[in-house]
Structure 1
Amino acid sequence: MAQTPPIRDEYEIPLTPLPGLVLQRQFSLPQRLWQQGWVRKGAILLLLALVWEGVARWQNNDLLLPSFLQTAQAFIDGLRSGELFGKTWLSLQVLLKAYVLGIVAAFALTTLAVSTQFGRDLLGTLTSMFNPLPAIALLPIALLWFGLGQGSLIFVLVHSVLWALAVNTYAGFLGVSDTLRMAGRNYGLRGLGFVLQVLVPAALPSILAGLRIGWAFAWRTLIAAELVFGATSGKGGLGWYIFQNRNELYTDKVFAGLAMVILIGLLVENLVFNTLERVTVKKWGMQR
Structure 2
Amino acid sequence: MNRLLSAAIFGALIFSFAACTKNTQNHAPLGQVSGTGTLIPADVSLIRRGSHLFLIDGKQTYYVESKTENLVAVEGQTVYLEGIAEKNTSPDDLPVLMVQKLTSVKGDSGLHLWNIPALDIQLQTPSTWQATIQKSVASFLLPGEEIPLMVISISGSGSLPTSGSEYYLSGHRAVRIGADGSGKVDVFVEDNDSILQLHFDVSTQRSIERMEDAKLLESEFEFALNSIKFLRDKRETNSGSGDTLSTQCGGADNILCPQGSFCDVYDSALKIGKCRVIKQ
TM-score (norm 2): 0.27
* Structure with the greater alpha carbon radius of gyration: 1
More helix per residue: 1 or 2? 1
TM-score (norm 1): 0.26
More strand per residue: 1 or 2? 2
Structure with the greater relative contact order (CA < 8 A, sep ≥ 6): 1 or 2?
A: 1
